[in-house]
Amino acid sequence: MITRLSSEEARRLLEAGRVGRLGCVYEGAPYVVPVNYVTDGENVLIHSLSGRKIEALRANPRACLQVDEVDDPCHWRSVIAFGTFEELSDSRERDGAAERLVSRFPGLTPVESVPVHDGQSSVIIFRIRIREVTGVAEK
Amino acid sequence: MITRLSSEEARRLLEAGRVGRLGCVYEGAPYVVPVNYVTDGENVLIHSLSGRKIEALRANPRACLQVDEVDDPCHWRSVIAFGTFEELSDSRERDGAAERLVSRFPGLTPVESVPVHDGQSSVIIFRIRIREVTGVAEK
């Protein structure tokens, strides 16, 4: 039976996750990639190299992050956070976000974890400003 | 280091998977949900109750299915199949697809697994006709 998660359950699942699937729209078509993330409930923080998802999000900032826990094909919980892409360019915001990502993912390689001040980094750090979180479960 | 998978590696990963994340576009915004699927390499077969993803795909048939194997945040492989949504309404096609899904997911509940002939079923069976499969890995 598929049931809707309460808002609190949905947010708990989002906050507990580490890997999510980022959805964006690229030239009118959906595009989905796995990402490591950390969230405080208001924003989702993500780092990335440049590529199609960044190109897509710069052109159309509507984004979603889907996170799930799948026990088996008939027992799972899934949550989706809808929001808006915002690239971090201010060095203090970037440093703060990088610190939170490194603290959540100690295995990040130096090139990804080092805060960048020269504006030349190929590492993009962005947030999704969360507008709505919903979730469902099958038991 | 992130590398591109060969076409053959990408297709193998897609064919080995059982749970993927279906991406579609709903009113101009991305929408992503986990799905159980089976594929023969040309089409991805999926079953679903009605809801937002079906509404989205009927309005805009551009779809993708993202499948990954994540060992840890720095070791993962991910593939994305791009294609077009096609709802199965012909009873022979539906029966064949339902059989393949049940054979892959023996735990499907009867209401989902029983082929439906009366056209009144609330279970939607559809395929994504695959146009392109690409993949990347981080090692």
Q: Tell me: the pLDDT tens digits for A5-58? A: 999 999 999 999 999 999 999 999 999 999 999 999 999 999 998 899 999 999
Of the candidates B19, B64, B74, which has its C-beta nearest A32's C-beta?
B64
Specify the length of chain B in residues.
Answer: 139
pLDDT at B109: 60
Q: Cα dihedral sign for A1, A136, B40, B104? A: negative
- Rounded CA separation A61/B57 (Å): 21
* Residues of chain A found within 8 Å of residue B32, distances taken between Cβ atoms: 21, 23, 30, 32, 64, 66, 80
Alpha helix positions (H), A6-139: 7-16, 52-59, 91-104, 110-113
pLDDT at B1: 83
* Residues of chain A found within 8 Å of residue B30, distances taken between Cβ atoms: 23-25, 30-32, 62-64
CB contact under 8 Å between B2 and A31, yes or no, is: no
> Whose CA is closest to A123, among A45, A67, A64?
A45
**Chain B contacts to A (CB-CB under 8 A):** 2, 18-19, 21, 23-25, 28-34, 36, 49, 60, 62-64, 66, 68, 70, 72-74, 76, 78, 80, 82, 105, 107-109
pLDDT digits (tens, 9 = 90+) for B65-79: 999 998 988 899 999
Q: Say whether pLDDT at A105 is over 70.
A: yes
Cα dist. B105→A7, A39, B12, B52, B67 in Å? 30, 34, 19, 23, 17
What does the DSSP 8-state code read for residue A5?
P
Of the candidates A19, A49, A66, which has its C-beta nearest B70's C-beta?
A19
CB contact under 8 Å between B34 and A109, yes or no, is: no
Q: Say whether pLDDT at A119 is over 70.
A: no
pLDDT digits (tens, 9 = 90+) for A50-73: 899 999 999 999 999 999 998 988
pTM given for the model: 0.91
The more confidently predicted of residues A42 and A117 is A42
Q: Say whether pLDDT at B14 is over 70.
A: yes
Q: Say whether pLDDT at B111 is over 60.
A: no
- Rounded CA separation B115/B90 (Å): 11
pLDDT at B108: 73
Query: Are A8 and A133 in contact, with CB atoms under 8 Å apart?
Result: no
Query: Are B130 and B44 in contact, with CB atoms under 8 Å apart?
Result: yes
SS3 A14: helix
